[in-house]
Amino acid sequence: MRTFPVILVVLIKNARKGWDDMVDSKDVKDLLFYERKNVWKEISEDQVSVIHDFSEGYKDFLNQCKTERECVKYIHDMCLNRNNSFISLKSAYKNKQQLHPGDKLYFIENNKAVMLITIGKDGLSEGIKIIGSHLDTPRLDLKPLPIYEDTEIGFIKTHYYGGVRKYQWVTIPLAIHGIIYKQDGTELEITIGEDENDPVFVISDLLPHLAAEQSKLTLKDAIPGESLNLVVGSVPNGDTEVNEKVKATILQLLNNKYGLVEKDFINAELEVVPAFKARDVGIDKSIVGGYGQDDRVCAYTSLMAFFDSSNTISDKTSYCYFSDKEEVGSAGNTGAQADTLTFVTEMIAELLYLNNKKETPNVKSVLRDSVMLSADVTAAFDPNHKSVFESNNSSYLNRGIAITKYTGSGGKGGASDANAEFLNSVTKLFDSTEDIVWQICELGKIDAGGGGTIAKFAANLGINVLDAGVPVLAMHSPYEMTSKADIYMTYKAFKAFYENM
């Protein structure tokens, strides 16, 4: 009967001895604690200039690409400028073209979503590796019949798109980008407000002297969606008998310059975006400020990683996917729910079958053997708003690419939750690749809100997927901020994924 107590005492002594040894160890912090590294402290002087140079290209991308269509054109132009090494997947499929390891293809969906592909040594038999981001970002869209007049001021009506905080969009300079199909069927591209000689557009707000009642309202309600109307003119047309003389002036000017009539706006996709340019932020120029960084920062880093690694032919076929409509649920035929991955995989499977006359790969098994990084941003810890963050599990500026195991809201509602095995393979890859700095995070406190990415739609296809991207300050605002160090680490992590995963 005394055997058990004796054994218990021995176990407790041994356990205490081991515990005391660890406490006394000088290396306990290095051995046991997880600490985020600051990129600027980890890199050499040579790397500092590389980081700043990389961000110059990124800022140029932000300035050129303020809509999804402009992003697609930018990506397409890059494909065409790379010694004609990229071919259209649709053309290859139509012509039953032979495909070989190292061949590069592109697939464009309705000028709003893109897939870039490099064929691997194993074709599709071992699955594919994918990095997927999204090109759309919160903005204001013009309504189908947008122009109206009130009290001899001309306005354009808008409908906000995505998670816009409406109060942030008033009294700032705005530009209009997009396309219009005129009555004769011709396509017209329009950009007004970006050139220094262009006019800009502004949404008015109340002066503080008369805003007593407005100030009592919540941020959500203080600026109603129907009041997000752009001021576009004030000169009445003296040569017309219509009542809306300012509207007549606006339409006449648009007709003189572009040949437009009011009905043309029905067949248009016109987006209102901030007229700001991307700029360095801070005395040390360590931060990029600019519109649309959610999620174009991940689009740019994955694009450059894909191009810079595409000359190395890996075993797995590589995809670089740029989706649309993520900010409104990824619906539609250009969103991630459109099953684009399955469609593109089926086309390539048929082409590869024609090449070698072997059994066509089963698309479902290909997807189950595939791995993906859902390249999307996350919220950086903001010291001005600490109450919505859980500091131990937040992402921080300058601490590298942020890995998010799960998204969703509350009890992980609507989440994609990566399995431990895949998470382990990704973190091991980053740890084994020289100089990659990474961090783990959640979006914020559990019940503070939440959000999602395209990861869950890839997971629904059977793909092992993990969210990873750049931390952002002031996310979804007209002028978001990201760390240059994090941008470059994200590029390096994506490149390692393509080359070694």
pLDDT tens-digit map of 35-87: 899 999 999 999 999 999 999 999 999 999 999 999 999 999 999 987 668 99
Q: How would residue 20 be classed by pLDDT, with cut points 50, 70 and 90?
A: low
Q: Which CATH code for domain 39-137+291-500? A: 3.40.630.10
Q: Please report the sign of the dihedral spanned by the C-alpha atoms of residue 295, residue 299, residue 302, residue 304.
A: negative
Q: For the CA atoms of the chain, what is the radius of gyration?
A: 26
pLDDT on residue 1: 47
pLDDT > 60? residue 445: yes
Higher-pLDDT residue of 13 and 300 is: 300
Q: Which two tokens stand for residue 404?
A: 């998010």
* pLDDT value at 442 more than 70: yes
- Percentages helix, strand, coil for the chain, rounded to the nearest 5? 40, 25, 35
pLDDT at 28 over 80: no
Question: Edge-to-edge strands of the sheet including 401-404?
Answer: 86-88, 104-109, 113-118, 317-323, 128-134, 371-375, 464-469, 401-404, 438-441
CATH of 139-274, picked from 1.10.1040.10, 2.30.250.10, 3.40.50.970, 3.40.50.720, is 2.30.250.10
- Cα distance between residue 67 and residue 273, in whole Å: 8
Q: Largest Cα–Cα distance in the chain?
A: 111
Q: To which H or E segment does residue 328 belong?
A: none
C-alpha separations of 23 from 15, 31, 119, 320 in Å = 12, 11, 53, 48
pLDDT digits (tens, 9 = 90+) for 224-241: 999 999 999 999 998 878
Q: Considering only CA atoms, which of 413, 404, 338 is closest in space to residue 375?
A: 404
- The whole-number average pLDDT for the span 114-132 is 93
- Displacement of CA 324 from its chain's centroid (Å): 10
Q: pLDDT for 389-403, tens place per residue?
A: 999 999 999 999 999
Comparing CA positions, the residue from 361, 378, 364, 325 lying closest to residue 460 is: 364
Domain boundaries, the chain: 39-137+291-500, 139-274
Residue 378 CA to residue 395 CA, distance in Å, equals 8
User: What was the pLDDT predicted at 25?
Assistant: 62
pLDDT of residue 293 exceeding 90, the answer is yes
Residue 6 has pLDDT above 70, yes or no: no
Helix (H) or strand (E) holding 443: none
Which residue, among 469, 431, 328, has the nearest Cα to 37 in the 3D structure?
Answer: 431
Q: Name residues whose C-beta falls within 8 Å of residue 307's C-beta, 6 or more positions apart in sequence.
A: 78, 82
Looking at residue 223, the DSSP 8-state letter turns out to be: S
The phi-psi region of residue 110 (left if phi > 0; otherwise alpha if psi is between -120 and 50; otherwise beta) is left
Q: Give the least confident one: 99-103, 150-154, 359-363.
A: 359-363
CB atoms under 10 Å from CB of 137, counted, come to 26
Name the packing angle between helices 68-80 and 45-64 (round to 10°). 120
Considering the entire predicted model, what is its pTM? 0.93
Q: What is the predicted pLDDT for the residue at 262?
A: 96
pLDDT band at 175 (very low <50, low <70, confident <90, very high): very high
The phi, psi pair for 94, rounded to 5°, reads: -60, -40
Over range 9-23, report the average pLDDT. Answer: 55
Cα–Cα distance, 490 to 278 (Å, whole number): 19
The two tokens of residue 234 are: 């004030």
Confirm if 166 and 214 have CB atoms less than 8 A apart. no
